[in-house]
Amino acid sequence: MERLLTYFHNRYKNRIGAGRVILATVDGGTGPWGPVTNVIQRWENSGPATIAGWEGNLTVPLARTLEWSSNFTYMSKSEDDRGQPLSLVPDYTLNTWLDWQVSGALNANLGVTRYGEIEARTASLQTGSAAAVTDSRDAYTLVNLGLNYQLNKTFRVNAGVKNLFDKQLQRTGRGANTYNEPGRSFYLGLNVSI
């Protein structure tokens, strides 16, 4: 068994983040809660900020050909000097996966990633009207599946599915500065070792 736990504390003088000025709005269609209006903001230097928390990992051999690994990041502090949450930073992230060496050449892995809540600012963005955007993004989970096959000493093929259950999340203009989860995707690759 292999394990590691680390505390980190980063103090930024001028972190890059989502700006406070809304440059434009774009009709985002209709989401599960009604019409969606996306906002366009510029990434900019946003002044001092602090990111602190814990990181850890754990690897456990379950059998001769099966290994379970996990890593996590827990944010104990993620805010600017005004006490506002930083964009794109979930409360926690947990990755866990099973790695199965099916044969000498074939390896399969099944992974799960859990993202914690992303808080929205409680301060208003600078728009024509001073409406606060206070909707946080809820926690969610993604599942991934992958295969690797070593053809010979030179070539290795890998293929898989990311976001197996097609979880789709879209940004809205009402809440936390986050990113889109576009849904299921497939990949196929060839690695060459010389």
pLDDT in tens, the chain (194 residues): 788 999 999 888 887 776 666 677 777 666 655 566 666 767 777 778 888 999 999 999 999 999 999 999 999 887 777 777 776 788 999 999 999 999 999 999 999 999 998 877 666 555 544 444 567 778 899 999 999 999 999 999 999 999 999 988 776 555 555 667 778 999 999 999 98
Q: Measure the CA–CA gap between 59 and 68, rounded to whole angstroms.
A: 6
Give the position of tokens 């599960």: 32
How confident is the model at residue 59, as a pLDDT? 95
How confident is the model at residue 9, as a pLDDT? 93
DSSP letters, 51-85, are EEEEEEEEEEEEETTEEEEEEEEEEEEEEETTSPB
Strand partners, 106: 149
**What residues contact 176, with CB distance under 8 A and at least 6 apart?**
85, 87, 118, 119, 120, 121, 133, 135, 136, 137
Q: Measure the CA–CA gap between 192 and 151, rounded to whole angstroms.
A: 10
Q: Measure the CA–CA gap between 36 and 126, rounded to whole angstroms.
A: 19
How confident is the model at residue 83, as a pLDDT? 75
Would you say how long the chain is, in residues? 194
How confident is the model at residue 129, as a pLDDT? 44
Q: Measure the CA–CA gap between 43 and 33, rounded to whole angstroms.
A: 27
How confident is the model at residue 189, as a pLDDT? 97
- SS3 call for 48: coil
H or E element, residue 146: strand 140-150
How confident is the model at residue 179, as a pLDDT? 67
